[in-house]
Amino acid sequence: MAYPLSMTAEVQSALAAKRPVVALESTIIAHGMPYPQNVETARAVEDIVRAGGAVPATIAIVAGVLKVGLTAEELDRFGREGRSIAKVSVRDLPFIVAQKLDGATTVASTMRIAAMAGIRVFATGGIGGVHRGAEKSFDISADMTEFAASDVAVVTAGAKAILDLALTLETLETLGVPVIGMATREFPAFYSRHSGHAVPMTCATPAEVAGVMRAKWDMGLKGGVVVANPIPEEAEIPAEEIAPVIDAAVTKAQAQGIMGKETTPFLLAEIAGVTAGRSLSANIALVKNNAMIAAAIAVAFAGSAS
C-alpha cells in the first residue's frame, strides 16, 4: 500500500476525473532561487500550467506529510525559510516523514511522489546528473536512478550546465531512459540552447511526446522520460559565455570542499553573482517555458487515454 498523500482539493478532483495535472518541485523554491523571486516564480509557474489547461501540483513535505499541491501560505513559507528547510531526495524521505519534518523535494523525490499520486508529467528547471570528476567522487545524482524507477515524464531545459553532460546522457542510455529533444536535435545545457551533444530522438509537438509516453508505459516499460526543452532564445546565455563562469565556480566549490547536495545551490549562487543576476533571469525564463510545454504534454496525454 502506498504511503498516504495529502492533496489539495483542486489536485484530488483533477486526478479523480483523469484531467491533466503537472507536478512541480519545491527545491527550486527553497534552494534554487532567492526570496522573493522564488515565490513569485512559483506562483507564475502555477498560473502558466493552469493557463495551459492543466492543474499544477507543487510537491513538498510539510511536518512529515507528503503534500501534492501547496496552499499559498505553505508556498510562501518555503520561499521565505529557504535553505533552513531540508533538501530531500528519495533516500531522505523515510527520515523526514518519520521525524515529521519539512522538506523541499528534489527532482528525484518529486518524481517518486508524483508517481505515487498517479501524475505522469512534471516540469522542472534542470535535472541532476553525473557531476564533473565523478570517476573519482562517484557524485551522481539520484535523479538518474529515479528515471529508471518512476513512470513520469520530466520537462527540463536539459541537465544542469555544471554537470558532465556527456556522461549524464550515457548514464540515461544505460538506464534505458528515452531522452527526447522538444523540437531540437541537440541536448540543451540549461542556460544555453546548445551543448554539442545530440539527443537520440526528437518530437516536434507535445502530442508526439505524449504518444511516446503512452507507447512506453503501454508496453510495460518501467521508468521515466526526459523531455529536453531548450531555454527560449531571447533568454539564453550562450555556452561560450557561461562556460568560463561555470568552470570558475566549480573550481571554487572544490577548493572549499563543497560536495553532495550542497554543490548545486552553491554553484547557482556563485554563477548568479558573477553574471549580475543574468543567470537567475535565465533560470526563471526556462522554468516558465518548461511549465508551458509540460501543460501541453499533460493535456495531450490525458486526451490520448483510452
CATH number at residue 198: 3.40.1790.10
Q: What is the mean pLDDT of residues 117-144?
A: 88
- Number of domains composing the chain: 1
pLDDT at 53 over 70: yes
Dist. CA 155–CA 206, nearest whole Å: 11
Q: What's the pLDDT tens digit per position in 137-187?
A: 778 899 999 999 999 999 999 997 778 899 999 999 999 999 999 999 999
Note whether 147 and 213 are within 8 A (CB). no
Note whether 171 and 131 are within 8 A (CB). no
Dist. CA 278–CA 153, nearest whole Å: 28
Q: What's the pLDDT tens digit per position in 218-269?
A: 999 999 999 999 999 999 999 899 989 988 988 898 899 887 767 777 887 8
The kind and range of the H/E element at 271 are helix 263-274
Range of the domain at 61: 6-303
Catalytic residue among 25, 46, 186, 270: 25
Q: Is residue 251, in this structure, part of any structural domain at all?
A: yes
- pLDDT value of position 50: 98
Higher pLDDT, 36 or 276: 36
Q: Is residue 123, in this structure, part of any structural domain at all?
A: yes
Dist. CA 306–CA 302, nearest whole Å: 9
- Quickly state the pLDDT bin for 115 (edges 50, 70, 90): very high
- pLDDT value of position 84: 96
Q: Is residue 1, in this structure, part of any structural domain at all?
A: no
Catalytic status, residue 160: yes
pLDDT at 120 over 50: yes
Dist. CA 229–CA 204, nearest whole Å: 11
In the numeric block, the cell 503537472 is attached to 22
Q: Is residue 114, in this structure, part of any structural domain at all?
A: yes
* DSSP codes joined into one string, 130-156: BBTTHHHH--B-HHHHHHTT---EEEE
- pLDDT value of position 306: 55
Q: Is residue 53, in this structure, part of any structural domain at all?
A: yes
Dist. CA 190–CA 55, nearest whole Å: 25
Q: Is residue 262, in this structure, part of any structural domain at all?
A: yes
Q: Is residue 48, in this structure, part of any structural domain at all?
A: yes
Catalytic status, residue 67: no
Catalytic residue among 67, 87, 160, 261: 160
Q: Is residue 200, in this structure, part of any structural domain at all?
A: yes
Q: What is the mean pLDDT of residues 79-93?
A: 96
Question: Whose CA is closest to 206, among 72, 52, 86?
Answer: 52
Question: Whose CA is closest to 261, among 24, 88, 29?
Answer: 88
Q: Note the pTM of the prediction, 2 decimals.
A: 0.93
pLDDT at 1 over 50: no
Q: What is the mean pLDDT of residues 6-32?
A: 96
**pLDDT averaged over every residue in the chain:** 94
pLDDT at 16 over 90: yes
